[in-house]
Structure 1
Amino acid sequence: MNNIRKPFISDWHQLSVNDLSPLPIPHSLNELPAKVDVQVKITHSGKEYIFPGLGSVPKDDDIPTEYGGVAYAYNSSHVLLFVPVIKSSFGGGIGRVITTGSDSYNGPFVGSASTCKVRIRAWGLSDWPKPDFSITAGLTISTASPYKKVHHCLGTYPDFVTVQLLMPGGLVSEGLNDYVSCFRDGWGDFPEIVADTADVIIRAWMLSSSDILNTNNFSYVKGDAVPWAGVISMTNAIDLDFHIVNVEIKDTTVSKGKVFYGAGSANMGYSGESYGGVVFGFTQSDVLLWTPSTSVVGGNLIYIGGLWGDGTENMQINNVQITVKVIKAGFTEWPLPQDIPNTIKLYNGVIAGSKTLYACTPGFSSNGGSVESSCNGTSWSDTTVACSAATDCPSVMPSTAQSQSTVPPDTKLSTVTPDTNSIKEFDTIIAELKVPKVNTSAFRRSLTCAYDSRESSMAIGSSGVSVESYLRGRVCGNSELNHSLGSE
């Protein structure tokens, strides 16, 4: 059990196309967030839906079609939210806070909204368990070197990955354009935020089954009917405050194919240009999927082409496995177990399933009550153990120089014998609770991968699973960060 803690959660804010952009929302972490999630809430046919925000602006207002989403960047004090603000002299760009791609995509409904409510969720690094793989220094990406492959050597697909781009000046983005990160041209009246190089921070986690609320996966070929008409019902309700919804699209045309994440808004180029990706939104009970239409030329379930990565490893994939995954977050530590007079206590945590054991201190005897208390995630169970002082020695009056002892010479003074039953039981249960070596953090750290930038070390790990980043050198706003997970 990894136990992802509660995030910072902001209030809901109203946003509209051609409104204030960017909108700064402060967070209280006092550090650079390890994970930010932007929830964009729209109303369609009287029902509310949530779409995820975008890590960078994917395209500008020059192309005569719908474009948009709510893009975001952040630092140690604020998250900046960007919405389309049309300024193009070409005219024709249609800004939206979310778009499901009009007739370029098939899905449960045609989503196109110019107003929404939005809020942010932000987690500090200490809110997450220790990553099973991480790079926090020594890796950069730039327009001059727009493709990177990093082997994470976990031997399997991570359950969750974050890729952050730390720009000069301290802002973090999660997407790429013709610059490493870009917020300009059709996204607000503000000083342009552009960077042609950035430091890359990657973290990957292997989660336990208790950390994952729902998992649904199915094979899909473009042109087939999407199972359940694109509405995937959840076995367990999604908590909009604490759960994280991910959609993964895996290339099944090769063994151990790469995995890409779905997006919260569709963005296409000029008519006839190739495009790709899966768009998703969700409610508390369902996850909704939109896939490229077969009636429009150029649509792909996975697409890397044009100037993405300077032409390295182009992909146009339409045979995939789609996985919908809901990850639990919102863990809260319960207060420490109670103190009981005249006892010692030992506890192995303050989460659901933790136990506390009590034993009488030497010189005190147990009443025979239960010595164990357990935590159910919201409270500690009661225990009936109580410890009282053992029988005292007989009183002996102090003697004086003239007095004689009244105790017969053959009489032995009684001694105190502490009740050791509770201590023996205590030791027995402690032995049962001892953590096997393979489950200790020290042992786990010994197996945790570390990034080594040397070419020799990268060659040694060439058969491992990789994280790849692609940068597209084109007009700002025509693409976003794609990081893939797969085996080579």
Structure 2
Amino acid sequence: MSANSAISRLVLQHDLREDPAYVKVDARTNTGFIFPAFGSAQQDEDAYVMYGGVVFFYNRTHIDIFVSHLGAESKWIGPQNIVRVYESITVQAKAWRSRDLPPPTWKSQTIDVKEGGCLNASLNHTLNKYPDLILVQIRNNGRIFHGQGLSLIAIADGWGEKTNILHIKDGSITVTAWDLTGFKENEIVIKKRLQEVETAKNLLTENLATGNFINVQLHVLDGANKNFRFDGVGSVINEAEPYGGLVYGYNDSVVAIWVPHKRESEESAAVFMLGKIWGWNFKEQMTNDVDIVLTIMDVLVPICLLEVNTSTTHIDSSFQYESYNNSFLEFAYGDEITLTCKRGYKNKNMTAKARLLKICASDPRPSAKGIGVVLGIGVLVVIISSIVLLDLPNLINAVKSKKQ
């Protein structure tokens, strides 16, 4: 995709047959660096200053991606040997169904925002720790956006086609948080003071090839937002003063970080900024007193393994299952599976027709895959045994009648 061209918008069909539970869009440059996309544009060509980035939204059938760089050199400081501005990039989109992720630990109630309204709420999650993964989704007329934006959602002129304008000032907001304990491996968490990162020439060296989720956050150390964490972004969103933010990109071995040049006053630019127009001054703050937190992890997909003889058993599943090996079938969290003996077959211990219903549930233990096999078989044995016990009086009476 290229900025300011006929290929500045891309529509991808995801074939999930449902609203994705999570979407990640990345921009890969010709130098091999990856920059994460975000959910809304905060600046366009009307400001007459440099702007850029990759913006996306999605629905139950498609992912819509828009492009327009790293900003003016006089305003942002970062690694000197990495190109700052890219007019063409390669885009990769990944979409997860709800069954492809561990079950959420906490989900907020739906918050409706009407045009002209203002949201400045604090939500108390129940994790008692920083979430391993958090997702803010905004829904409007079947479209889903991630939580960023100057209006609720803004993708206006200067993004995608020249005639494209998408200004949304109302919608329904949900927040979902995951504690991935038992569902992650190869986790690396690095926390450094901003001064340490600057001393290292704004580069964090680490093996990033081990994880499928990589994130860089600001951890605020003072003021109204003390001990809150805020995600970095993949492109300069706004550099009209006052401005702030943390921009990052990465490859397999290094994370590159850009932050605003320090000024005599934090009122014009700071690494962390929550401006006056957000939530009617709610927790307004500008500060350089922050830590930078890098998180790398490999998120595991919870599965349920069930041993079934498919030559004698009919399987009715709420979702398409896959074969794990010759004797086990693989299902996902939340799947409902009904097992019925095929015509001409019946369980030798049952006088009634075998009809077994199983619902895959979450098992947070690290060995959930192996335990799922044992539990799956165990549940079937318990159900079959229960049916046999229920028919036991009839069997005893039948035996007595034959003896008489």
Q: TM-score, normalised by structure 2?
A: 0.70
SS of aligned partner of 1:237: coil
Equivalent residue number for residue 247 of structure 1 = 216
Task: Determine if the alignment matches structure 1 residue 310 to structure 2 residue 300.
Answer: no
How far residue 37 of structure 1 moved from its aligned partner, in angstroms, is 0.7
C-alpha displacement of 1:61: 0.7
C-alpha offsets along residues 201-232 of structure 1, whole Å, 9 cap, x if unaligned? 110011126615342333424x6652532222
Which of 20, 24, 32 is the aligned partner of 2:11? 24
- Provide the residue aligned with 1:439 in structure 2: none
Match of 1:57 in 2: 41
Q: Is the 8 A contact 1:246 1:324 kept in 2?
A: yes
Structure 2 residue 52 is the aligned partner of structure 1 residue 68:
yes
Aligned twin of 1:455:
none
Distance of 2:257 and 2:39 partners within structure 1: 19
Structure 2 distance, partners of 1:212, 1:323, is: 18
Counterpart CA distance in 1 for 2:13 and 2:51 is: 27
Query: Match for 1:171 among 143, 163, 166?
Result: 143
Quick one: distance in 1 between partners of 2:103 and 2:305? 22
Contact preservation (8 Å) 2:57, 2:63: yes
Cα deviations by residue, 1:168-209 (Å, 9 ceiling, x for unpaired): x21111244442111112112345222111100110011126
- In the alignment, what sits opposite 1:220? 193
Alignment match, 1:35: 22
Structure 1 partner of 2:121: 148
1:90-129 to structure 2, matched below 5 A, reads 98-99=69-70, 101-108=72-79, 109-129=82-102
Separation (CA, whole Å) in 2 of partners of 1:209 and 1:107: 36
Instruction: Give the residue type in structure 2 aligned to 1:27.
Output: H
CA 1:119 to 1:299, structure 2 compared with 1: closer, same or farther past 3 Å?
A: same
1:447 aligns to what? Answer: none
- 1:10-34 superposed Cα distances (whole Å, 9 cap, x missing partner): xxxx444333343211111111111
Q: Which amino acid aligns with 2:293?
A: T
SS in 2 for 1:148: coil
**CA shift in 2, pair 1:196/1:225, >3 Å:** closer
- 2:77 maps to 1:133: no
Separation in 2 of the partners of 1:228 and 1:180? 37
1:234: how far off?
2.1
CA, structure 1 residues 178+268, in 2 after alignment: closer, same or farther (shift >3 Å)?
closer
2:165 partner amino acid:
E
Per the alignment, residue 264 of structure 1 pairs with 234
Counterpart CA distance in 1 for 2:245 and 2:254 is 20
Match of 2:175 among 180, 202, 206: 202
What residue ranges of structure 2 are gaps of 5+ in the alignment?
310-326, 333-347, 350-365, 379-404
Structure 1 residues 139 and 205: alpha-carbon distance in aligned structure 2, compared to 1, 3 A threshold = farther
Matched, 1:277 2:245: yes
Is the 1:21–1:190 Cα contact (8 Å) retained in structure 2?
no
The 1-side partners of 2:331 and 2:150 are apart by: 48
8 Å CA contact 2:131–2:178 kept in 1: the answer is yes
The one-letter amino acid paired with 2:34 is I
Counterpart of 2:244, as a letter, is: G
SS in structure 2 of the partner of residue 215 of structure 1: strand
Q: Distance in 2 between matches of 1:69 and 1:303?
A: 19
| Residue 300 in structure 1 maps to residue 270 in structure 2 | yes
Rate the CA distance shift 1:49–1:55 in 2: closer, same or farther, 3 A: same
User: What is the percent sequence identity of the aligned residues?
Assistant: 23
**What displacement does 1:292 show?**
1.7
Going from structure 1 to structure 2, the CA distance change for 1:128 and 1:147 (only over 3 Å counts) comes to same
Paired residues of 2:214 and 2:297 also in contact (CA < 8 A): yes
Specify the SS of the correspondent of 1:73: strand
After superposition, the Cα gap between the structure-2 partners of 1:207 and 1:233, relative to the gap in structure 1 and judged at 3 Å, is: same
Q: Taking structure 1 as the reference length, what is the TM-score of the superposition?
A: 0.58
Is the alpha carbon distance of 1:257 and 1:333 closer, same or farther for their aligned partners in structure 2, counting shifts above 3 Å? closer
Counterpart of 2:282, as a letter, is T
Give yes or no for contact 1:180–1:197 (8 Å, CA) kept in 2. yes
Matches within 5 A, 1:408-427: none
Question: Hey, what's the Cα distance between the residues in 2 that align with 1:151 and 1:316?
Answer: 24
Aligned residues: 323
What's the CA shift string for 1:322-359, capped at 9, x where partnerless? 111123146485975697xxxxxx99x989xxxxxxxx
Q: Post-superposition shift, 1:296?
A: 8.2
Give the secondary-structure state (helix, strand or coil) at the position aligned to 1:62. Answer: helix
For 1:178 and 1:283, locate their aligned partners in 2 and report how far apart those are by CA, in whole Å: 30
What CA distance in whole angstroms lies between the structure 2 residues aligned with 1:320 and 1:267?
19
> RMSD of aligned C-alpha atoms?
3.6
Matched residue of 1:269: which SS?
A: coil
Indicate the residue corresponding to 1:231 in structure 2. 203
Residue in 2 that maps onto 1:158: 131
Match of 1:325 in 2: 295
Contact 1:245 1:324 in 2 (8 A): yes
Once residues 194 and 259 of structure 1 are traced to their aligned partners in structure 2, the CA distance between those partners, rounded to angstroms, is 28
Structure 1 residue 103: Cα displacement: 2.7
How far has the Cα of 1:67 moved from its partner?
0.3
Q: Alpha-carbon deviations, 1:234-279, whole Å to 9, x = none?
A: 245245xxx1211111111269621100000013333xx1111111
Unaligned runs of 5+ residues in structure 1 are 1-13, 85-97, 340-345, 352-360, 363-375, 381-425, 431-488
Distance 2:53 2:208 in 1: 28
